[in-house]
Amino acid sequence: MASVSGSDMTPALGELIPQEIQCQQVPADLRHLPFVRDRFVAYLDQAGVSKQDRDMLVLGFTEALANAIKHGCDLNSQQTIQVEWWSEPGMVHLAFGHEGTGPVEKLARNPHLPEDPLASGGRGLFLIHQIFDECRHWRTDGRYRLELSKRLASLAEPPPMTDEVADLLEELSNMYESLATFHRMGTALIEFERAGDFMSEGLEKISGMHTRETPGRVEICLSGEVLPSVQDELGLIEGITPEADTIPFVRQLMKNGDSFFWNDRSAVEQSPELSGYGSGCCFPIVAGGVTLGCLLTAKESEGESFSGGELSNLRTFSDLFGIALANANLQTIRQRELRTRRELELAAEIQKTLLAQNTPPVSPDWKLYLRHHAAREVAGDYLEARLDARGNLLMTVIDVMGKGVSAAMLATIYRTGFLLNLEQEKPLEEIVRTLNQVLCSQLHEITMFVTGGLVRVSKDLDRIEIVNAGHCPILVRDQSGAVSQVEASGPPMGLFEDSEYSVQAFSPEQCEGVFIVTDGMFEWRENGHWWGWENLIKEVNEGGFDDPAGLWEHIQELIKRHRNRNENLDDQTMLCWTRNTNK
């Protein structure tokens, strides 16, 4: 065999390329390779080339064109490769030309097998030089050209191949078959709706792709990074093992993210489940830097039972399985988010329909200001002002623990009880006690509760009653302008059925205004520090009772100005009642 290289020279076309040349312009895309190869096969058949010679030439043709597409043009489909073939008596010629410089000169002159038998490349030029009698390389004007020639007469009785070349040809044949398998698996990864279907298909392909020995064990072991619901589904498929049932030895490999190979039983004798297998390999299944599992393949015989091509294929399968598992995790998370979103929409609808705030009553004897701002789709605060059956004004502000559907339902239960009590003439402390017992009976063992305040102003304005049930202090202003606080007289409602609550009553001189808020009005950060209750008291004292609308807008502006985009704010609710002293 001969190999000739040239660098800054262009071949004389009249000498090297006869007039009857077949030429194809091929985009640098592997999908076009079979079409061009079929044309070359048809040309060889028409020229009367024997099947043995044809198969050898087609193998070299395929390898050379694949190299040009992948390595010469970097799979850039915008580039093209000029492929030519022609013949003369006893000789077939091939040529491949494309942009670039081609392989390094040293490798082009003396190609050799890679030192690492597991390397994914480096065999192409060696194989081409083994198949063809002459290999000529040219580099000129930013382009590279490879010409190959094969004497057909020398192949009438092919010389015996060395074991090295025979193994290489076998491995290359397996690699092309694997490429077709991976193409089908890539399509399946997109088309299969369930990860389990794809992975089951992949396990079947792995079992059938080995030539030296069929594996006795092919298994996908899942790690704790795979969501429990995904593990429950996949664990029903033969060949897929949930984390809890994974071999301890393999579980440790997954924890470390290691690959592992063995060629004799002594390497795995510490693992009873694997000690019966003379050779095997474990490849971590990784996606996004997270180890999602391990691909375990084991054979009974000892020694080099896995070829480099088989190991490379197994690595690729583990990558495909990683994509499938990561996608299954993401789909599960997305479904949870959709359910959560639907729950929020349902809770918002509940609040919209069942907790709709009615128009507050009006009177020439007093002023009432109500405001509420929900931090999220579903609020945990609720406020109401109604006249009872005797014409007394009954007001309430509550803060429900939690958010979402549960908070909306709890607020609905409270509101129902509150409205029912408007029709009955009861002491205010008994109304609160009844509301607490209703909430406790509905919650049972669920740890939820409601803090709140209730205020009743008699029709003749001679008596103002206040009950604080585990809520922040309720502010009261007297005729002199002094502001006092009504502290909680009992725990939040919904915790203890036997809770008792006391009423604090005020005369007109002692109370000409009541101010109730929820903690969202003062528990927010200003320049990294809690704004706090003391600042709220200061703002209220400086005119909050006289201008509640101004105070509300001022605090809302402060919150908007100082809030952190990532900070989870609470709902803000405010109620201000004042006696009308200007009538």
Residue 3 pLDDT greater than 50, yes or no:
no
Exposure of 197 in the CB half-sphere (CA atoms within 13 A): 8
CA–CA separation, 448 and 312 (whole Å): 56
Same domain, 284 and 400: no
> 99 and 79 in contact (C-beta within 8 Å)?
yes
Residue 342 pLDDT greater than 70, yes or no:
yes
Structurally, the chain folds into a number of domains equal to 3
In a domain, 169, yes or no: no
In a domain, 171, yes or no: no
Residue 548 pLDDT greater than 80, yes or no:
yes
As a whole number, mean pLDDT of residues 390-399 equals 93
Residue 355 pLDDT greater than 80, yes or no:
no
pTM above 0.95, yes or no: no
In this prediction, residue 292 carries a pLDDT of 93
Token code pair at residue 396: 């309430």
What is 194-243 written as a DSSP string?
Answer: SHHHHHHHHHHHHHHS-SS---SEEEEEE-TTS-HHHHHHHTTSTTEE-G
Same domain, 126 and 221: no
CATH of residue 544:
3.60.40.10
SS3 assignment, position 248: helix
In this prediction, residue 84 carries a pLDDT of 94
CA–CA separation, 158 and 156 (whole Å): 6
In this prediction, residue 116 carries a pLDDT of 55
Same domain, 139 and 198: no
Same domain, 53 and 26: yes
CA angle at 488 for the pair 486 and 491, rounded to the nearest 5°: 165
| Contact residues for 150 (Cβ-Cβ < 8 A; gap 6+) | 53, 56, 57, 60, 91, 92, 93, 131, 132, 133
Mean pLDDT is lowest, of 443-447, 554-558, 564-568, for 564-568
Question: Of 15-29, 399-413, 431-445, 566-580, where does the model show the most confidence?
Answer: 431-445
In this prediction, residue 446 carries a pLDDT of 73
CA–CA separation, 297 and 218 (whole Å): 5
Distances (CA, A) of 348 to 403, 406, 408, 409: 11, 11, 8, 10
Same domain, 305 and 441: no
In a domain, 255, yes or no: yes
Mean pLDDT is lowest, of 133-142, 223-232, 434-443, for 133-142
CATH of residue 134:
3.30.565.10
Domain end marker among 115, 134, 159: 159
In this prediction, residue 347 carries a pLDDT of 64
Chain mean pLDDT for the chain: 82
Tell me what percent of the residues of the chain surpass a pLDDT of 70: 81
In this prediction, residue 157 carries a pLDDT of 45
Same domain, 392 and 296: no
CA–CA separation, 383 and 369 (whole Å): 11
In this prediction, residue 323 carries a pLDDT of 87
> 385 and 516 in contact (C-beta within 8 Å)?
no
Mean pLDDT is lowest, of 7-16, 264-273, 488-497, for 7-16
Domain that holds residue 202: 176-332
The phi and psi torsions of 76 (rounded to 5 degrees) equal -85, 100
293 — pLDDT class (breaks 50, 70, 90): very high
Residue 119 pLDDT greater than 60, yes or no:
no
Mean pLDDT is lowest, of 95-109, 282-296, 325-339, for 95-109
Residue 121 pLDDT greater than 70, yes or no:
no
Q: What is the radius of gyration, based on Cα positions, of the chain?
A: 41
Residue 307 pLDDT greater than 50, yes or no:
yes
In this prediction, residue 564 carries a pLDDT of 65
Pairwise pLDDT comparison (558 vs 116), residue with the higher score: 558
Tell me what percent of the residues of the chain surpass a pLDDT of 90: 33
Token code pair at residue 435: 């509301």
CATH of residue 282:
3.30.450.40
As a whole number, mean pLDDT of residues 425-429 equals 89
Q: Map 255-283 to HEC letters.
A: HHCCCEEECCHHHHCCCCCCCCCCEEEEE
Token code pair at residue 345: 């929409």
Q: Contacts for 482-487 with beta carbons within 8 Å, 24 or more apart?
A: 483/515, 483/537, 483/540, 483/541, 483/545, 486/453
As a whole number, mean pLDDT of residues 206-235 equals 86
Residue 579 pLDDT greater than 90, yes or no:
yes
CB count, 10 Å around CB of 425? 9
Same domain, 360 and 313: no
In a domain, 452, yes or no: yes
CA–CA separation, 7 and 104 (whole Å): 11
In this prediction, residue 4 carries a pLDDT of 40
Same domain, 412 and 532: yes
In this prediction, residue 14 carries a pLDDT of 33
In a domain, 349, yes or no: no
SS3 assignment, position 12: coil
Same domain, 113 and 147: yes
Mean pLDDT is lowest, of 86-100, 160-174, 255-269, 361-375, for 160-174
Domain end marker among 131, 159, 187: 159
Domain end marker among 159, 192, 211: 159
- Beta bridge partners of residue 336, listed in sequence order: none
In a domain, 376, yes or no: yes
Same domain, 397 and 490: yes
In a domain, 345, yes or no: no
Same domain, 190 and 112: no
Same domain, 454 and 508: yes
As a whole number, mean pLDDT of residues 499-526 equals 92
At 443, the amino acid letter reads L
218 — pLDDT class (breaks 50, 70, 90): very high
At 54, the amino acid letter reads R
In a domain, 522, yes or no: yes
